[in-house]
Amino acid sequence: MDAIVIRAATPDDEAILSDLLSASYARLKGYDPRGLANALPLMSTANPKLLASGTYYVAEFAARAAGCGGWTREKPGTGETSDGVGHIRHFATHPDFLRRGVAKRLLRHCIDEARQRGVHVLMSQSTLPAESFYASAGFRRLNAIDVEMAPGIVLPAIEMRLDLS
Ligand SMILES: CC(C)(COP(=O)(O)OP(=O)(O)OC[C@H]1O[C@@H](n2cnc3c(N)ncnc32)[C@H](O)[C@@H]1OP(=O)(O)O)[C@@H](O)C(=O)NCCC(=O)NCCS
């Protein structure tokens, strides 16, 4: 079995990670198809600020980009920060690599790093089908939210929280 290698993303990863995000999010289940179609172009593009943040990562498996995800102190959408609080950002595993522990490794990396940097609470705006993934890592559901991706484009999501000890 090939090992999963985690490395920091860079702006040079924009094309490869946009391809990965597109392949992953195109398969999202549990959403109204029309609403999802409007949100997909926004969700499926790698975020340049995240790529340059130093806390956004690529998981490589068998020499391919198998997953991506990271964390920031800024809350997605608003850019607000709060002492001791971090936010999980833009996680996805390519459909060819699902259920092999790729996202789990990425999330573990983010949790460990955030804790080392003084974060006590990690928040996630989980897609509807990813709730079980975050729950498996100890996140608890707070409430259903609507994430405004752009004016008039809203994606239902689940706000989740992990307290770091
Ligand atoms: C959510 C996602 C990132 C999980 O990626 P993954 O690499 O397949 O996840 P892992 O293999 O690391 O799973 C770890 C654990 O999470 C849970 N889990 C993951 N996917 C699950 C699913 N579809 N249903 C139920 N539990 C799931 C399981 O407990 C799993 O452990 P197990 O395989 O030993 O049972 C992936 O399904 C994905 O890209 N989804 C579409 C994009 C998305 O919704 N991203 C989240 C943005 S907030």
Tens digits of per-residue pLDDT, 146-160? Answer: 999 999 999 999 999
pLDDT score at 67 = 98
Q: How many CB atoms are located within 10 Å of the residue 51 CB?
A: 21
pLDDT of residue 44: 96
Of all protein residues, the one whose alpha carbon is nearest to atom 26 of ligand 1 is 132
Q: Contact, 111 vs 122, CB < 8 A?
A: yes
Q: Is the CB of 101 under 6 A from ligand 1?
A: yes
> Is 53's C-beta closer than 6 angstroms to any atom of ligand 1?
no
Task: Map out the domains of the chain with their CATH numbers.
Answer: 4-121 (3.40.630.30)
Mean pLDDT of 37-64: 96
CA dist., res. 159 & res. 141, Å (int)? 6
* pLDDT surpasses 60 at 1: no
pLDDT tens per residue across span 68-124: 999 999 999 999 999 999 999 999 999 999 999 999 999 999 999 999 999 999 999
Ligand 1 pocket, 98 CB below 6 A?
yes
Q: What is the mean pLDDT of the chain?
A: 96
Query: Ligand 1: distance of its center to the CA of 2 in Å?
Result: 19
Q: What pLDDT score does 165 carry?
A: 79
Mean pLDDT of 9-18: 98
Rounded-to-integer distance, Cα 96 and Cα 70, Å: 20
- pLDDT of amino acid 127: 98
Ligand 1 atom closest to the CA of 93, numbered from 1: 39
The alpha carbon of 88 and the centre of ligand 1 are apart by a number of angstroms equal to 14
Q: Please indicate whether residue 91, judged by its CB atom, sits closer than 6 Å to ligand 1.
A: yes
Quick check: 65 and 58 in contact, CB under 8 A?
Answer: yes
User: Ligand 1 centre and the CA of 29: distance in Å?
Assistant: 13
pLDDT at 2 over 80: no
Q: What residue has token string 């833009």? A: 90
